[in-house]
């Protein structure tokens, strides 16, 4: 299944826009109860105004709230961002630390955010258990755990550590484009032959194909048809 996902989403990546660890940390905090698209529309002006941890530490609350208002829960997020900047200045020389045990002590940062930052800003493998990831790995029956930390550990035991960050991207991409929460595109899914939850959504290819989203849709549908014909990704072609 991971080989198939790797072939389905060769360009999978963090869909939050950033240029440094601080920007990614801030964007990930803003993404809570929001969408990456909305965050990416909000952060350009934010990042122009606030460039350093000290900028966030000394931010005017009203101004910061207005800048991030479109992402929702802006008052709580403003408190987190000001607290984040203060903690970084006081404890880490104004820099985002690259250790999980340090990151999770910072305001607004739990294990999910910490693993996003580690994997995408520092190249340190981490599994990001967001709603898509948790839903899909339970559908795949890789784990029955509901608690995100337990999911992280259970899946981490199945997959080589070097692949953790990319696995997160592959699964999240698949969840956003194919394996939807309410009506997954089962009949047009590249994992149809291996997924124990096949049939949760429509199984007819033509019907399911209409549910596949994203710029990769044509590639995904082509690969799904090849898989239906017996092609095995990563195993030298048709069998």
pLDDT tens per residue, range 127-183 = 999 999 999 999 999 999 999 999 999 999 999 999 999 999 999 999 999 999 999
The helix, strand and coil proportions of the chain, stated in percent and rounded to the nearest 5, come to 55, 0, 40
Per-residue CA distances from 123 to 104, 120, 136 (Å)? 17, 6, 24
Instruction: Say what the pTM is.
Output: 0.91
Give catalytic residue positions.
112, 130
Work out the number of other CB atoms within 10 angstroms of the CB of residue 151.
Answer: 20
Say if CB 154 and CB 138 are below 8 A apart. Answer: no
CA dihedral of residues 98, 26, 112, 13 (deg, nearest 10)? -90
Say if CB 110 and CB 103 are below 8 A apart. Answer: no
List the one residue out of 144, 147, 155, 140 whose CA is nearest residue 186.
140
Q: Percent of the chain, pLDDT > 90?
A: 95
| 8-65 pLDDT tens trace | 999 999 999 999 999 999 999 999 999 999 999 999 999 999 999 999 999 999 999 9
pLDDT at 6: 97
Token pair listed for 46: 């934010």
**Overall average pLDDT of the 200-220 stretch:** 97
How far apart are the C-alpha atoms of 186 and 192, rounded to whole Å? Answer: 6
């Amino acid at each position: 299944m991971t080989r198939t996902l790797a072939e389905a989403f060769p360009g999978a990546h963090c869909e939050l826009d950033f240029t440094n660890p601080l920007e990614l940390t801030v964007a990930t905090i803003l993404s809570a109860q929001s969408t990456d698209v909305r965050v990416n529309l909000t952060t350009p002006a934010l990042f122009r105004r606030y460039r350093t941890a000290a900028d966030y530490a000394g931010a005017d609350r009203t101004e910061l709230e207005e800048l991030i208002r479109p992402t929702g829960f802006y008052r709580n997020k403003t408190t987190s961002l000001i607290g984040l900047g203060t903690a970084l200045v006081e404890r880490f020389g104004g820099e985002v630390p690259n250790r999980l045990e340090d990151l999770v002590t910072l305001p607004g940062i739990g294990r999910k955010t910490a693993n996003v930052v580690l994997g995408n800003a520092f190249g340190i493998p981490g599994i990001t258990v967001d709603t898509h990831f948790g839903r899909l790995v339970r559908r795949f029956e890789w784990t029955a755990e509901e608690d995100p930390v337990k999911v992280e550990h259970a899946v981490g035991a199945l997959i080589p550590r070097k692949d953790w960050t990319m696995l997160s991207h592959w699964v999240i991409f698949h969840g956003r484009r194919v394996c939807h929460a309410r009506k997954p595109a089962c009949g047009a899914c590249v994992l149809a032959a291996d997924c124990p939850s096949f049939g949760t959504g429509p199984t007819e290819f033509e019907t399911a194909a209409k549910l596949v989203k994203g710029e990769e849709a044509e590639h995904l549908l082509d690969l799904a048809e090849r898989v239906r014909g017996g092609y095995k990704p990563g195993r030298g072609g048709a069998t």
